Chain A
Amino acid sequence: MKTKLTLLLIVVMALSSFGGMSIAQSEDTVNILFWQAASQMNPYLGTGTKEFEAAASVLEPLARYNPAGEMVPWLVDEIPTVENGGVSEDLTTITWTLSEGILWSDGSALTAHDVVFSGEFCLHPETGCTVLSQFDGVESIEALDDMTVKITFSGPKPFPYGPFVGFLTPIIQKAQFEDCIGAASLECSEENFGPIGTGPYVVEDFRVNDVVTYTANPNFREEGKPYFSRQVFKGGGDAESAARAVLETGEADYAWNLQISPAVLNAMEAAGNGTVIAGYANNVERLMVNQTNPDPMLDADTRSVWMEDNGNPHPFLHVPAIWQAMSMAIDRNTIATQLYGAGGVATCNVISGPPSVASPNNDACLVQDIDGANALLDEAGIMDSDGDGIREYMGMPLMVSYQTSTNAVRQNTQALIKQWWSEIGIETELRNISASVFFGGDVASPDTYAKFYTDIEMYTNGSNGTDMEPYLGNWRTTEIPGPWNKWGGSNVPRWYSEEFDALLDEMAATASAEGRIALTIQMNDMLVQNGVMIPLVFRASVSAHANSISGVDMNAWDSELWNIADWTRM
């Protein structure tokens, strides 16, 4: 036994005598950790951020978003607008002109036919394209010549930047994917695992759900870039160990999506190896306020079902004093700093970003005001008449049920809010439901977010892009979920306002950027100031990079690796 122990010790020492040396980073390789691994690299078939990010340093779109949410030309010289003639006066076409001299990594030239093909690839009904909604309203895509692409929409499209802008819809090479369109896309694993691109890196080796290795693209258009001759994109594991590998052991240079407890993350960052970075798009954690009556005593055709002209209203949540008091009682800053840390800041707006469209009109809610909330309820005559600590509205005690998905941060938020509401005489019953059921589409389940069988529910949502029209369209009257659409609508609070619908129609016909921003702010304020939703936290994407890497510019509107060609090691 003794010899065995000695032997083991010798082995351990022999192995570790080379320690430090190889744990240290190799100078010219950038190591990226994604704890969700990429299952293939064709973004048009991608099922999550991991695939889009894996492809982002190889495949490029015509234009990207920068961290502020503004469009920057990428494979083109300028963004087409009505002013420069790139977008037609009637808003039905957009014409992109490619920059001169862009080569694919195999040395052939990028042409308009590649762009047209990328569109055809996604629009083909048998491809099973996952980003098809980016092509909403596209009637045709045609190449006017080798460098010019014209996209025609079936109607006026004030924001025609869905296709080929951002990392969801990059350009793929026609020559490579020509035989992979439609049903054949299933068979093309070689192509899907190693797309040829115009970006700074070329795929060297792809291992499903594991690791992608890249080498620098010799034909990249920018001289002397990228700085790193190799990129390793490793998947698997979990967020916490990914953070540890960057912040504590220094094995990786970049780790993505670190939604872990702020206390843990801060302690890791204190080791001094790396920096935690946050990028804000416009995801907001909010309370949805049920506008209809979710009383369990009602039958399936009535419970939480909206009726013409609000025929089935909530018994008390439509009373301004009540939902205003509920909002005032919440200390959003405590939730944000204690539970979200780098992952969020307090907000009072449904549309909190980009900064240009965030409304300045609702900031009063940032300060908790329990006394004010109590006073407001007292003034409205909503008192606790029977001395049980719960106020009554027209004889009905203010008891609310409040559901969300199962997740430590959400349950802690629930507990805090329950406490604050009890201080203003509102009793709360908490529920949490497994995310796969809560967000699932099972029509038979009573626990989905769309059925909304409680008074309050909480989750995060946000716009896909910087243009808010499709996102605001979520709260159109026709989007109210109910038995008639198999609970498939997106207007979950069941908000009904003809005025809001009219503003949406107005937005669909407004082309000027200023006009659209004004309308966005106006509609955001309507949603917040009518108690449809109570925004809580403006959530960020959190990542971390090693201190030895410079040039990282965290981007929540596009790929986090959007400027990887500019990353260097100090």
Chain B
Amino acid sequence: MGKYVIRRLLTAVPTILVISFIIFAILELSPSDPTGNLPLTIPPEVRAKIREALGADDPFAVKYVKWLNQFFIAEPLNLFEKSFGVTLPGSEDRTRVISWATRGPVIDIIAERLPQTLWVVGSSYILGVMIAIPVGVFSAYRQYSIFDQVGTFLMMVGFSVPTFFTGLMFIIIFSVNLKWFPSVYDTTLVVTDIETLQLQLRQMFMPVTVLTLYTTAQMSRYTRASTLENLQQDYIRTARSKGLNERVVVSRHAVRNSLIPVVTLIALGIPGIFAGALITEQIFRVNGIGQYLIIAIQGGDLPTVQTVTFIFAVLVVLFNIVADVLYGILDPRVTYT
């Protein structure tokens, strides 16, 4: 197993490099222009000067090598210096990945935004999984019961109604009419005591519920399908014929095995948390990673788009490995050599 993990990690390195090149090439070939969003009144000569100042007109190879150097050498060294409070030689000359739109280091902005994304998207993911698994299992166990029918209906609704609709509906009901929850998320709120915790929970309620509905819908469908399949297996009949009680049959035998594909699915979904929830973040003004990426794409901010999508790609590759490893742990039939 250890060898397998090391081998996978090593092969991931060239994969990640290729991905970084592809992302860079796509962005480079796209017609976006960092000065494209500037007002019409700014003359072309000024635009040219701005592009020059940003280094936007450098040749492709120069830009790519510069980014590689900044991302893989300068940023980790900076992180090292910051966390250990030491200064390495050459600290002065190191350039960081700088956003064209904000003229600030991209990594710092990501770090600033990660908390709200994790709070909102992360907690909705955990909550969604926690609700989805029991609901899915029970629906499968009592297939075609009232619970299953209602559950299936609700999950189809949750799956098919887009978050921009549910989000808006929630705002109209809970903010405009009932005035229970705020529709504007306050990212500056720091939880220090009971009162601020309450504020935090209140402002998280609507975005988290909207996202949870979606996650639950998706996950519970998978759980239900997988459990159904397992309940019809021979080993379940064997367990029952051995005289085990129904509770043990379902929870020990059926559910454990049904969760194998679900767990990998959950692992594969984790990078998505870091990417944020584009639409929900926008509706509730959570202003996390998702909203940052959208603004950067619209503004033709190449270093930001490159860095954010690349970090996302790295997470996808890593969690793929995690999912594969988990599979081996959970399913004894799978062995890695």
> Chain A interface (Cβ within 8 Å of chain B)?
1, 4, 12, 15-16, 18-20, 22-23, 33, 37, 39-40, 42, 45, 47-48, 125-130, 132-133, 183, 185-189, 192-193, 205, 207-211, 213, 232, 234-238, 241, 244-245, 248-249, 251-252, 436, 439-442, 461, 464, 488
Contact = CB atoms under 8 A, between A and B. Distances in A.
Interface string B101-116: 1111100110011000
A193 B112 CA distance: 14
Report, nearest first, the 5 A-B pairs whose CB atoms are least far apart.
A128-B53, A189-B104, A16-B180, A128-B50, A210-B287
B44 interface: yes
Contacts of A125: 49
B187 A464 contact: no
A234 B116 CA distance: 15
Contact of A45 (B51, B103, B182): B103
A168 to B, nearest CB: 10
Given A130-B50, A241-B171, A244-B171, A37 B103 contact: no
Given A40-B102, A238-B282, 10 more contacts: A15-B180, A22-B182, A23-B179, A128-B49, A132-B49, A189-B102, A189-B104, A213-B188, A236-B287, A442-B31
Contact of A186 (B41, B54, B171): B54
Contacts of A33: 184
A442 B30 CA distance: 13
B44 A441 contact: yes
Contacts of A440: 36
Interface stretch (B155-163, B199-207, B228-236): B199-207
Contact of A251 (B42, B147, B183, B202): B183
A23 B99 CA distance: 35
Q: How large is the interface on B (under 10, 10 to 19, 20 to 34, 35 or more residues)?
A: 35 or more
Interface string B288-315: 0001100100010000000000000000
Contacts of A207: 112-113, 187-188, 287
B103 A205 contact: no
A211 B179 contact: no
Nearest to B54: A128
B37 A47 contact: yes
A4 B199 CA distance: 23
Given A18-B202, A47-B37, A205 B188 contact: yes
A132 B183 contact: no
B39 A209 contact: no
Interface string B14-47: 0000000000000000010000111111111010
Contacts of B267: none
Nearest to A49: B39
A237 B283 contact: yes
B179 A15 contact: no
Which has the most chain B C-beta neighbours within 10 Å: A133, A210, A238? Answer: A210
Contacts of B120: none
Which has the most chain B C-beta neighbours within 10 Å: A236, A252, A488? Answer: A236
Contacts of B175: 23, 244, 248-249, 251
B182 A15 contact: no
A249 B179 contact: yes
A84 B204 CA distance: 60
B176 interface: yes
A141 to B, nearest CB: 18
B181 interface: yes
Interface of B: 31, 36-44, 46, 49-54, 95, 98-99, 101-105, 108-109, 112-113, 131, 147, 171, 175-176, 178-184, 186-188, 198-199, 201-202, 205, 281-287, 291-292, 295, 299
Contacts of A238: 282
Nearest to B299: A47
Contact of A234 (B31, B131, B184): B184
Nearest to B150: A1
Contacts of A187: 95, 98
Contact of A241 (B49, B113, B283): B283
A192 B103 contact: yes
Contacts of A208: 99, 102, 104, 109, 112, 292
A239 B176 CA distance: 16
Contacts of B101: 39-40, 47
A245 B283 CA distance: 12
Contact of B198 (A15, A47, A488): A15
13 contacts: A12-B205, A40-B101, A129-B46, A129-B49, A133-B42, A133-B46, A189-B102, A209-B295, A244-B171, A248-B175, A249-B182, A251-B183, A464-B41
A19 B113 CA distance: 27
A126 B44 CA distance: 16
A440 B46 CA distance: 16
A37 B171 contact: no
A237 B278 CA distance: 11
Contacts of A234: 184, 186, 285
A417 B103 CA distance: 45
Contacts of A189: 98, 102-105, 108
A16 B181 contact: yes
A183 B183 contact: no
Nearest to A41: B102
B53 A183 contact: yes
Contacts of B109: 208-209
B202 A15 contact: yes
Contact of B287 (A22, A37, A251): A37
B70 to A, nearest CB: 12
